[in-house]
Structure formats: C-alpha cells, structure tokens
Amino acid sequence: MELIRLNDIYKTYHVGEVDVPVLKGVSVRIERGELVALMGASGSGKSTLMNILGCLDHPTSGQHFLDGQEVSNISSDERAMVRNRKIGFVFQSFNLLPRTSALENVMMPLSYTATHLSEKEARARAVDLLGLVGLADRLDHEPSQLSGGQQQRVAIARALINHPPLLFADEPTGNLDSRTSEEVLRMFEKLNQEEGITIIIVTHDSEVARHARRIIHIRDGIIDDGVPFAKPSRHEPLASLEAVAVAK
Amino acid sequence: MHALRRNVMRSVLTCLGIIIGIAAVIAMMEIGQGSSSLIETTMSKMGADNLIVFPGQSASGGVSYGIGSAVTLTPDDCQAILRECTAVRNAAPIVRANAQVIYGNRNWSPQNINGTTPAYLDIHDWTQLAEGDMFTDQDVRNVSKVCVIGQTVARELFEDEDPLGKELRVQNVSFKVVGVLGAKGANMMGWDQDDVLLAPWTTIKYRVNNSGSSSTSKASSSSITDQVNTLNQLYPNQSVQLYPQLSTVQQADQPQPVRFTNVSQVLVAANNPEEIPLAMRQIEELLRERHRLHADQPDDFHIRDLTEFTKAMSSMTSTMTNLLLCVALISLIVGGVGIMNIMLVSVTERTREIGLRMAVGARARDILRQFLVEAVVLCLLGGAAGILFGRGGSFAVRKLLHWPTEVSVPAIIAAVAVSAGVGLVFGYYPAWKASQLDPIEALRYE
C-alpha cells in the first residue's frame, strides 16, 4: 500500500530577483514498510527533497500525498500537525533537550499532540519505547550522561512516541563511530521488519545505504533514473526509479 | 519551566530588575498609606468639622493690612450664627491676648490666651477637664475674673502644687483658677495645645486688653457694652468725667464713630464634616446681611476651613508618594527591558531546540505561548520576591525611622498584576520572534 507519492514536484527558490530551480520534476512512490535510503551529493537537491518529504516545506508545484492525504498546499500549522502525527524525525546531532531526562525527552512531542493523553499514559508509552530501544535502565539519565549511541536511541524512541507510519532519519550515524552506527542501523532494520514502520534514511555514506532495501539517488534536481554518470564506485549500484532490490 | 530551572543563576539575574522595582513599589505604597492614615486620624482628633471665621482684611488707599486687622466681627455675630445657621452645631467667640502670666515668683507667657465661652471646649472636643470645672456663661456675662489653664501652663507656674483656687495675674489683672484642662499634646502644626489659658472673653477684652488704654468716653460706647456690664444698672459708673457731656442734640449733630465690640475670631463647629460647605455658605450669607454688604462689596470676613490644612498636607504627601511611585515604575520598565533582552538571547541560544519542537509538531502559536509563559512566570517569581523584599523594607523603615507604614493589600494585588503585565509586554517580542523561525533554518543553526 502506498504511503508517499510525489507527482512532478518542482521547487524553486527566489533569491532576490533570480529564480533558482532546485527540484525539476521529481516523481517517486514509496510503499508502506519500505526501508529506503536517499542519496545525493551536496547541491543535488537532496536536502530540499528531504524537507518536502518530511513536510517541513511545500513544493512550488506538483502534488505530494502522504498516507492518502494531499499535503502539497496545506498551511504551515497543518503541516506541523501532520508532522506530529505522521512523521518521526531522527537527526544527525540527536537534538535532545539538554538537562532533561531521557523519559521527558521522549515525551516531549506529546505536548503538541491534539489528542491529549493523561500523564500516566504518556509516561507508560515513553517507558515502553525506551524499553524497545534498549534503554529501560536509563530513564532518568540526562543527555550529558548518555553516550552518542544511547542519545540517538533516545531520539529514535522520541520519534516513535506518536506511533507515526513514517520515520525520517537525516544522517543518523553521522556523529557515531562505526560500531555504534551498526547498532543504530540494526535498530532501524528491526523497527522496519518487526513494527512495519516505513523508514527513509538520508545519507551520503554508501555503507549506510547498504542497509536499506532500496536506494533513491537524486542529482541536479531530478531523481536519477538509472543513467550512469561519472565513475562507478565499487559500492554503489545504479538505481532506477522503480528499483526495489539492491544487492546487499 | 524546565527552561528556567536549567539556568537558575541567569533566571535570578534576569528578574532582578523586576524584584527591585516591585519591592520599591510595595515599600512606597505602604509608606504612603501609613502617612495618609496618620493624617486622617490626626484630622479627626483635631476636629474635622471646625471652621474659623476671621474678620476681613482692612485696606487703606489700596494697601491691605492683612487678616484680622479690621474690626468687623462681633459677639452678636457669633450668637446669630449659632441661632440661624442650621448646619452649625456650636459657636464660640475668641478674643486673643498676648500677655505674661504671673504666679508668685514664677512667670510664663502662654502661646494662647483665649477669651471665649464654654462652647469652646465642646467645639474642640475637650470637655473632660483634669481638675475643677470650666467657667460658665454667667461668668461671661458677669465679666468674672476666672480662668482655666492647660497642663503646660499649670506645670510652668505651679509645678507640683494644685492650681485649683489659686490666683494668677494676667497683665496685672487677678484671675482665679477654676479648672485645669486635660492633656492634648501637640497639634498637626507642632504647637503645644496644652500651652493655653482660657478665660471669659469679656474679661479678657475689657479688663486685660483694655487695661492699658485710656478710658473711653461713655457717650460713644455702644449699648452692648452697657448690657454686658450688668452691674452698671445697680451701681452706675462713678468714674470722673474728664470732658463735658454732649447733650442729645449735640450728639445728633456730631455723630461719633461707633466702636463695635469686636472679637478676634469666631470658632464654629458644623454638625458633621459633610455639612461644612453648607455651614460656610450659611455663615457667609448671614454675615453679609448683618454687616450690610452690597452684592458688589467683598466679604469683610474670612471663613477658614480646618480641613484646608489637612487637605493641603495630604495632597503634599500624596504628591510625594505618586512621584516616588513613578520612579519605581520606571525601574520596573528597566527591569522589563532586561527581561526582553535575556529572552531574546535565550531564543537565539535555543534556536535548534525551537527547530526541533517545530519539527515534531509545534505550531507557531505553541512556540509563542511557550516563551511568553516563560517570561510571565519569570516576572511573577520576581514579583513575589519583590513583594517579600518590599514588605521587609517597609518593616525596616517602620522600626528604624519610625515612619508610619501600613500593609496595603491593593499594592500587593497591583504588584502581581504589574509583574504579569511586564512579563507579557516585554516577553511578547522575543516570543514572537521565536515563533516566526523557519524550522528548516532553525534546525541547521549552529
């Protein structure tokens, strides 16, 4: 079943009097339960595509459907509500609230959720999620008392507090060493396979992209439709628009 | 709230301005409240419903001689006021004298030698004598040589002796002490109210004040004088006539200026403080009629309202209080600017946090509300601390400087409202700025 559909998305930035087109007709479809890696060099429009997929920004033209709802032209308040309910974010620099316990960090998005849970229910949910990511014994630790990997796992638990269908990870292992990166990526795989959460990982590291079942490349504002360019690297297989399996 | 707790030192320093401002406001208002209460109680002790009627200013060729220099108020005026002014409860004429009082080998010049009637004590709410009795209306009619002295005069002249029944000499006139007044202390202007000698006004006027002047010819004295000197009917005046008497025809041909029997002041008590304006109007109309003044002639008397003094004093203190309040409010504004400054810094510092909150679903108004609430809470905490310090300050002022202070509940309520207000007003701009951040930019912020 389809979760995300982009139809002919254009995004143009207006810098003074000059129009800078960044996305030039992107169309892509992502099914539920996919584990997708989004790759692209800087300047390719990867960040812009990421912002649109994450409902942080809206396209200049084209349609964007998320979970059956058209979200291309909604107001920023409505976008905020969509983000709250449908998307969980994990960032490269964790972005946890300092001097706040792990439990409270995980519960933070609930203060913006329209349907209010009671304090007890909220805590219970947060405790469950922290257990899921393996931090049940560190509920009241503050970020300064947690390692990088642990902080990222708290961030993952926070992203899942509202049970969103989509998890969006922007360079999630960028600040982690290789062993911890492996742990975090395995966690993503587990969440994807066991909980059925659709995950999009944005990365420039092909080792990370290897963990995904599908890689979407973006270059010069369009999804690379499989035409080879420059030197083929030993890691990267070329991907087409509808490519599904990538050799692991 | 966590945000405030995260950096306690900064929060405390930020609301220091508010603390100082609110403390100053509370202390000012309590001191001001204390002063005005003191004035009110003093006013009621002094007789807030009293009026004094002075004879008007005299003028010669355009040069005014000042209040009291004309002789226009008579004892009959006083009687008329008592009789005909419905708003007047009591009235007493006052004849003032300046003289030395001698007892044995001691002497003393009282600040006030007042010739008056027994009504004087009622008007001044002073009817409880420490010893003896007040002289009576009969004494006034008989021009008796009796007097009542205040505590200070008694102490100066008699020390530990009992003054009752003793004879004093006032300007070589011998007076018998029939009473001693109770203590009253100093009045609002600082004069000692116990430094007083009261006697019948007739005695003061005709025996004390006139004892130095040459005797006047009987022909030109008014009939009132005859009435007063009732003994004249039994014992006609035997004094030697220095000048030939004018016959009736000659008197009619040469009208002498008639001298009034005049008094220095008339003391009037209105029924109650609310009727003072009515009493003043009634007295004015009555006296104008009695003194046969035309509509275009100015009053030849002056009615002074005691509450004028107290009003002037309380307006002075309230002006001072308001001025100090303004200064305190200025410091509150400065405190508010400090709040705004720190909130702006805080917003900049927490840009990534704001971006994150927006990413997980905070709308612009959620962010606005969050930062506004933080500013208001900061200010309310500062206000609470300021109230405590303010009360402490006014307590210290009361103990150390002995100024009157009074707990002012409106001040506390106002202080809370003002701190919340300052938080809202000065916290709004930073909160608004925070809410207008773009989440994408904010997340990228270094």
Contacts of B353 in chain A (CB under 8 A): 95, 97
- Residue B190: per-residue pLDDT: 64
Task: Compute φ and ψ for B236, nearest 5 degrees.
Answer: -55, 150
Residue B84 has pLDDT above 60, yes or no: yes
| Residue A83 touches partner B, C-beta closer than 8 Å | yes
Contact B2 A100 (CB under 8 A): yes
Q: For chain B, which residues lie within 8 Å of any Cβ of chain A, measuring from their own Cβ?
A: 2, 5-6, 352-353, 355-366, 439-440, 443
CB A159 within 8 A of CB A107: no
Phi/psi of residue B186, each to 5°? -85, 150
* pLDDT class of B435 with cuts at 50, 70, 90: very high
Asked which of A102-116, A153-167, B239-253, B367-381 is least confident by mean pLDDT, the reply is B239-253
In terms of average pLDDT, the best of B34-48, B227-241, B275-289 is: B275-289
Q: What DSSP line would sit under A123-163, residue for residue?
A: HHHHHHHHHHTT-GGGTT--GGGS-HHHHHHHHHHHHTTT-
Quick check: B296 pLDDT over 70? yes
Tens of pLDDT, residue by residue over A178-216, are 899 999 999 999 999 998 999 999 988 888 888 888 888
- Looking at residue B128, its pLDDT comes to 83
Please tell me the distance in Å from A108's CA to the nearest CA on chain B: 8
| Coil vs helix vs strand at B75 | helix
- Strands B112-116, B196-200: pairing kind: parallel
Given a cut of 90, whether residue B302 has pLDDT beyond it is: no
B35-80 pLDDT, tens digit each: 777 777 766 666 666 788 888 654 444 445 454 445 578 888 888 8
pTM strictly above 0.80: no
Cβ A80–B443 below 8 Å, yes or no? Answer: no
- Contact call for residues A127 and A83 (beta carbons, < 8 A): no
Q: How far is B362 from chain A (nearest CA, A)?
A: 6
How do residues A127-153 score in pLDDT, each as one tens digit? Answer: 999 998 989 998 999 999 999 999 999
User: Do A213 and A188 form a contact (C-beta atoms < 8 A)?
Assistant: no
Is residue A231 scored above 50 in pLDDT? no
Compute the nearest-CA separation of A118 from chain B (Å): 19
Split at pLDDT 50, 70, 90, the class of B218 is: very low
The span from the CA of B121 to the CA of B93, in Å, is 12
Report pLDDT digits (tens) over A35-87. Answer: 999 998 887 888 899 999 999 999 999 999 999 899 999 999 999 999 999 99
- The per-residue pLDDT of chain A, averaged, comes to 85
Cβ proximity of B427 and B346 under 8 Å = no
- Residue listed under structure tokens 């509920």: A139
Chain A residue with minimum CA distance to B355 = A95
Task: Give the model's pLDDT for residue B256.
Answer: 55
Size of interface A-B (CB pairs under 8 A): 58
pLDDT, position A227: 32
Task: Find residues 16-45 of chain A whose CB sits inside 8 Å of chain B.
Answer: none
The answer to whether B357 contacts A108, with C-beta atoms less than 8 Å apart, is: yes
Nearest C-alpha neighbor of A34 from the set A245, A179, A247 = A245
Contact between A37 and A217 under an 8 Å Cβ cutoff? The reply is no
- Across the interface, which of A80, A95, A162 has its CB nearest the CB of B356? A95
Provide, as residue numbers in chain A, all residues whose Cβ is less than 8 Å from the Cβ of B356: 89, 91, 95, 97
ipTM surpasses cut 0.90: no
Question: Which among A46, A95, A100 is the top mutation candidate for probing chain B, defined by the most B β-carbons within 10 Å of its own β-carbon?
Answer: A95
pLDDT per residue as tens digits for the range B148-185 = 988 888 888 888 888 888 898 888 888 999 989 888 77
CB contact under 8 A, B360 and A98: no
pLDDT at A239 over 50: no
Q: What is the reported pLDDT for A85?
A: 92
Cβ separation B363–A77 shorter than 8 A: yes
Chain B interface test: which of A48, A78, A89, A92 (most B C-beta within 10 Å): A89
Q: Give the distance from residue B5's alpha carbon to the nearest chain A alpha carbon, in angstroms.
A: 9
Question: Which pLDDT value is given to residue B230?
Answer: 53
- State the Cα–Cα distance between residues B54 and B83, nearest whole angstrom: 19
Q: Mean per-residue pLDDT for B302-314?
A: 73
Give chain A positions within 8 Å (CB) of B350.
none
